[in-house]
Structure 1
Amino acid sequence: MRVSLSHALVTGISIALVSALSTMASADEFPSHDVQYVIPFGPGGESDISARLQQKYFEEITGEQLVVQYMPGGGGAVGWSQLNDKSADGYTIMGSNLPHIILKPMGKDVGFQTDDLNNFFYFHYSPDAILVRNDSPFETLDDLIQAAEEAPGAVTLSGSGTYSANDVANTRFQQLAGVTTTYIPFKGTGAAVTALLGGQVQAEWGYTTVAANHQDKVRMLAVATEERHPLFPDVPTFKELGYDMVGGAYRGMAVPEGTPEETQQRLSDIFQQINENPDFQQEMQDLGFVLMDVPLDEMPDFMAEQRQTYEATARELGLID
C-alpha cells in the first residue's frame, strides 16, 4: 500500500511538472504561426497606420507575420461585440480604443460592455485637432467659430463615430466656444479624412497624425495638447486660444475572453519591445503619434482611472444621464 501511494504521489508530481513545463514552453514558443490583428475600423485610420508600422517589428521579434484585417461598423462596436466569439489562443487580437470602449456601452446597447474586453497593452495616443483643407476659407479657429456663430449648425465636421474621442471633443468644444456645429460620424478616421478631402464636410475632428499624413492637403487650426506639438510649432493649442481642451484617442489591443494569462503576457511583452525600438519610436514621432506603455500588469489600474475620467466627462457633456 505504501509503495502504491508513493508511486501515485510521484506520478502526480511528474504530471504536474510536465504540465507546468509544457505551459512555460508554449508561452516561450508563442507565436508559432501568423497572428490575426483585427482593426474594428476601416482602412486608413490611425489604428491601421500604427498596425502597419508594427508589422515589420513583430516579424523581427517573433519570425511570424502580423496579419491585419478590418471589421468596421458602429465606430468599433461591431468588432468589439464579436471579439469574445473568436478563438482564445492568442492568435487573434483586436484593436482597443479609448474613450470608445468606455463611452459607447454607456450611451446605448452596442453589443458589448467595457469589461468584456481583455486589454493586454496600450501603446500610444494622438491629440485631438480641428483640421481643414488647405483651400478652406477658415484660416484660423476664430474664422470657424465666427461662421458657426453666424449660422448655427451650418459648419459641418467629420469624425470617427459617435461616443468616440472626436465626438467628445466636438461636444466639449461647442460648450466652451458657445457655438453649434453639425458633427457627422464616420466609420473611422480614414473615412472622416476622405469626407474632408472630398468636400463633404468643411472641417474634421482629427488628430496630429492626420495632419502629419496629409501635410500637402490639410492644415490644423488648433491642437488639444498642453504645449505645441513639435511637428507643428506654428499651430496653437486650444488652451492658448482660451479653450481648456487637452485630450485625444488612446489605442491598444485586446484578446478574447479565456486567452491564457501567459499568452497575454507574451503579447504584452512583444508589443512593449516594439515600442522600445528606436526606429519605431522615430517613425511614430514623425507621424504625430505620442508613444506610451501600459503593459498587462498595469492595465487594471489604467482602465479604472480612464473609466472614472470618461464617466465624469460623459455626464458633464450630457452624453449620458
Structure 2
Amino acid sequence: MFGTTKFRHLVGAAAAALAVSASAAFAYPDGPVNYIIPFNAGGESDVTARYQQPYFKELTGQDLIVQYLPGAGGAQAWSGLNGYNGDGMTIMGTNLPHIILQPMLQDPGYQTDDITNVYMFHFTPDALLVRNESPYQTVQDVIDAAKENPGSIIAGGTGTNSANHVANQLFMNETGVETTYIPYSGTGATESGLLGGEVDVLWGYTTVAARQADSVRMLAVATEERHPLFPDVPTFKELGINMVGGAYRGIAVPSSTPEDIRQQLSDLIGKINENPEFRARMEADGYALIDVPYQEMDDFMAERKAAYEKVAEQLNSHN
C-alpha cells in the first residue's frame, strides 16, 4: 500500500502535470496580441472586439490590443495583412461579403484566397433604418418616395461591395426602385450620417437599432423570422421582398502564420464564443453567434463565394 506521504506526492505531481497540460493547450500567445480592425471605432467589428478582450485575457493572461486601420471599405487593412509577422501576435478582423466581393468587382490589392481566416464568430442581419422623426413610417413609404422621384432617396451604408451595399442593391432589384447609395468608412460613421440627416435611410443591422434605441426606427429586418429583440418589426419576406442576409465577421492571420498557431487561435475564439456571459451580451445587442472554426473554413468560404457570385454580377451591372 502507498504511504500517505507518497500518495500526496503522487497527487501533487498529477495536479502539476494537469496544470502544465492545460497551460500548454494555450501556450500561445506569450505576449500582448494586436487586433487590427479594418474600420473606424464604433462599428460592430470594434464593439465585438472590445467584448472579446476580457475573455481573451482571462483565457491567456495576455492583453488583446485593439487598433484601427480604416480605409477603402476594409481593403487598406486586408491588402497589408500578409506583410505582418506571422507569429500570431498580430491578428485582423475580417468581414463577409467584403473580402469576397471586393476582389470580384475591383482590384483592392488582395485576393480572397490571400486572407487566412481562422474563425467566423458572428453574424448581423441587415436592417433598413430611419431617424425616429423621419416621415417614412414603413418600407412601403420608402418605396413610394423612391418610385415618385428615382434616385432621390439617399441610402447610407458601410463602403462599396459591403453587406450594406449588397442589401441596397438587392432592395433595388426586388422592388424596382432606384436609390442613391452613399458609402461610409464604417458602421459608426453611418450612424452619425443617419442621425445628422446626411442620408434618408440607412442600411445597417439589428445591432444599430439596439444601440441607438429611440433615436432610430427599424422598418424591416432581413431574417427568416422576426428578430426576438424586435418582435414588432416585420421581415422583408413578410413584406413580399425576398431579402435574407447580413454581415459575417471573423478573425484572420498573416499567411506565414504556422498551422499550430492558427489552430490555437481558432480554439481560443471558439472558447470565447462558448462563454455564457459573452453570448448573453452579444445576443442582447442584436448579434447572432456562429461557430466556423479553422478546420471548417475552406468549405464555409467556398459556400459563401458561390452565394455572392450572382450578387457580384448585379452590383457590377449597376456600378
Q: Same fold (TM over 0.5)?
A: yes
- Give the Cα–Cα distance (whole angstroms) in 1 for the partners of residues 25 and 156 of structure 2: 43
Q: Which residue of 2 aligns with 1:33?
A: 31
Q: Which stretch shifts more, 236-245 or 187-196?
A: 187-196
Instruction: Give, as a single letter, the amino acid of the residue that structure 2 aligns with 1:189.
Output: T
Instruction: Give, as a single letter, the amino acid of the residue that structure 1 aligns with 2:292.
Output: V
Equivalent residues of 2:26, 2:60 under 8 A apart: no
Q: Deviation of residue 26 (structure 1)?
A: 7.6
Q: Which residue of 2 aligns with 1:147?
A: 145
Equivalent residues of 1:106, 1:320 under 8 A apart: no
- Give the Cα–Cα distance (whole angstroms) in 2 for the partners of residues 37 and 53 of structure 1: 13
Equivalent residues of 1:107, 1:319 under 8 A apart: no
Q: Which residue of 2 aligns with 1:180?
A: 178
Deviations 1:195-215 (A, max 9, x none): 001111111000001001111
Deviations 1:207-231 (A, max 9, x none): 0010011112111000000000000
Q: Which residue of 2 aligns with 1:125?
A: 123
- Give the Cα–Cα distance (whole angstroms) in 2 for the partners of residues 178 and 106 of structure 1: 25
Counterpart mapping for 1:201-212 below 5 A: 201-212=199-210
Equivalent residues of 1:27, 1:262 under 8 A apart: no
Counterpart mapping for 1:107-126 below 5 A: 107-126=105-124
Instruction: Give, as a single letter, the amino acid of the residue that structure 1 aligns with 2:141.
Output: D
Q: Which residue of 1 aligns with 2:6?
A: none
Equivalent residues of 2:105, 2:316 under 8 A apart: no
- Give the Cα–Cα distance (whole angstroms) in 2 for the partners of residues 256 and 37 of structure 1: 12
Q: Which residue of 1 aligns with 2:49?
A: 51
**Cα–Cα, structure 1 residues 320 and 262, in superposed 2: closer, same or farther, change >3 Å?**
farther
Identify which of 140, 154, 167 aligns with 1:169.
167
- Give the Cα–Cα distance (whole angstroms) in 1 for the partners of residues 279 and 197 of structure 2: 34
Q: Which residue of 1 aligns with 2:74?
A: 76
Equivalent residues of 1:119, 1:299 under 8 A apart: yes
Query: Could you say what secondary structure the match of 2:151 adopts?
Result: coil
Equivalent residues of 2:132, 2:217 under 8 A apart: yes
What's the Cα RMSD here? 1.6
Q: Which residue of 2 aligns with 1:191?
A: 189
TM-score, scaled relative to structure 1: 0.90
Q: Deviation of residue 84 (structure 1)?
A: 0.5
Q: Deviation of residue 311 (structure 1)?
A: 1.2
Q: Deviation of residue 257 (structure 1)?
A: 1.0
Q: Deviation of residue 319 (structure 1)?
A: 5.1
Gaps of 5+ in 2: 1-22
- Give the Cα–Cα distance (whole angstroms) in 1 for the partners of residues 195 and 70 of structure 2: 21
Equivalent residues of 2:96, 2:163 under 8 A apart: yes
TM-score, scaled relative to structure 2: 0.91
Query: Could you say what secondary structure the match of 1:36 adopts?
Result: strand
Q: Which residue of 2 aligns with 1:9?
A: none
Identify which of 237, 240, 245 aligns with 1:242.
240
- Give the Cα–Cα distance (whole angstroms) in 1 for the partners of residues 188 and 26 of structure 2: 36
Q: Deviation of residue 238 (structure 1)?
A: 0.2
Query: Could you say what secondary structure the match of 1:214 adopts?
Result: helix
Percent identity, aligned pairs only, is 59
Deviations 1:243-298 (A, max 9, x none): 00000000001000110110011100011000000111100010000000000100
Q: Deviation of residue 318 (structure 1)?
A: 3.9
Equivalent residues of 2:126, 2:221 under 8 A apart: yes
- Give the Cα–Cα distance (whole angstroms) in 2 for the partners of residues 47 and 187 of structure 1: 12
- Give the Cα–Cα distance (whole angstroms) in 1 for the partners of residues 273 and 317 of structure 2: 34
**Cα–Cα, structure 1 residues 27 and 78, in superposed 2: closer, same or farther, change >3 Å?**
farther
Deviations 1:41-86 (A, max 9, x none): 0111110010010001111111111100000000000000010111
